Amino acid sequence: MTKFLEVKNLSVSFPTEDGLVKASNDVSYSVDLGKTLAIVGESGSGKSVSNLAIMGLHNRATTQISGSAFLNLDEGPIDVITAPEETVRRLRGKVMSMIFQDPMSALHPYFSVGNQIAEAWSLYNEGSKRDGMKRAAEMLDLVGIPSAADRVKDYPHQFSGGMRQRVMIAMALVNNPKLLIADEPTTALDVTVQSQILKLIQEIQKEFNMAVILITHDLGVVAEVADNVCVMYGGKIVETSAIDEIFYRSQHPYTTALLDSIPRVDKFGSHRLKAISGQPPSLIGLPKGCSFAPRCQFVSHVAGSRCTTEDPELTEKAKDHFARCFLSTEQIHTLTGRSVTA
């Protein structure tokens, strides 16, 4: 069965003076219409980079991209990695849209929000400027901005952070795209606003049957909205599965460490949060072996020094549950205390 977006062996690297930065390494994932895929990882894990490649937002002259990313459109599949730039541009904003982390800087300060939304609309629709502004007002209303008809003429600096992110969402969705890539859409916002924005994305997803890729470092966000999860580390996917599998039967020491580092309401009292010691790896000249090995507390449980000499493959540990670790399912669950039957 083909899904709407199928990313296969996508690698993105940037040549620099210090060497080749392998920001995203042999990444594969897919997402279907109406579903949400969460891509989780810390800063520099390569989670944004592969999605910017799908959108064609890297400078092709200074970026090396290999692999494929097929959009299965009604007219037939199209590989946005190898398609001509002009073809990909005409998909942007129409078939696939993206919203960004910082709504403060992602909107043009010199143009009214209505103007900016209308501009996106008029790219793919026939109509006057007035039609565009009318459509912009409808969109602002849809994303829950009060008295939208009056506010279309306002400028970005006249909106709060949460409201600006709503404007971004309105702009991204004005042409009813089939795929929405949300790159840390709530990171820059207050916690109370965060859940409103997530709820808004979910509602709109349901209404328009969109595929959503949610890039985040916040597992709390993932638990709220995702159907499937990819955990990325050092430019690679280290674990991927359905949402419940990740939370209750995680198969990779990095994922379990991440889960241990978030506060839990059911374990207060003596429970202390565990930080992951060490630093994420430099993406220039990755060490041999597993990229997480230097920070992994279970390295000694793997025979020999295999973790530091050999990079584990992404293997299917359970049905549709892949992880990049030499430890067996039983071993890791005994070590982390996470039950197989939770």
Phi-psi sector, 278: left (phi>0), alpha (psi -120 to 50), beta: left
CB closer to other proteins out of 57 and 286: 57
Least spacing, CB of residue 319 vs other proteins, in Å: 36
Least spacing, CB of residue 100 vs other proteins, in Å: 6
Could you tell me which of 338, 217, 238, 250 has the C-alpha nearest to residue 293?
A: 238
Least spacing, CB of residue 36 vs other proteins, in Å: 19
CB closer to other proteins out of 86 and 266: 86
Beta carbons of 185 and 204 less than 8 angstroms apart: no
Could you tell me which of 214, 179, 7 has the C-alpha nearest to residue 100?
A: 214
Bridge partners, residue 31, by sequence: 5
Buried b (16+ CB within 10 A) or exposed e, 137-161: bbbbbbbbbeebeebbebbbeebee
The two tokens of residue 192 are 């109370």
Least spacing, CB of residue 62 vs other proteins, in Å: 10
CB closer to other proteins out of 40 and 181: 181
Buried b (16+ CB within 10 A) or exposed e, 189-219: beeebbebbbebbeebbeeeebbbbbbbbbb
Least spacing, CB of residue 123 vs other proteins, in Å: 5
Interface positions with other proteins (CB under 8 A): 55, 57, 89-94, 97-98, 100, 102, 105-112, 119-120, 123-124, 155, 157-158, 168, 171-172
The two tokens of residue 57 are 């937002």
CB closer to other proteins out of 101 and 240: 101
Least spacing, CB of residue 315 vs other proteins, in Å: 35
CB closer to other proteins out of 106 and 152: 106
Could you tell me which of 205, 207, 239 has the C-alpha nearest to residue 225?
A: 205
CB closer to other proteins out of 109 and 337: 109
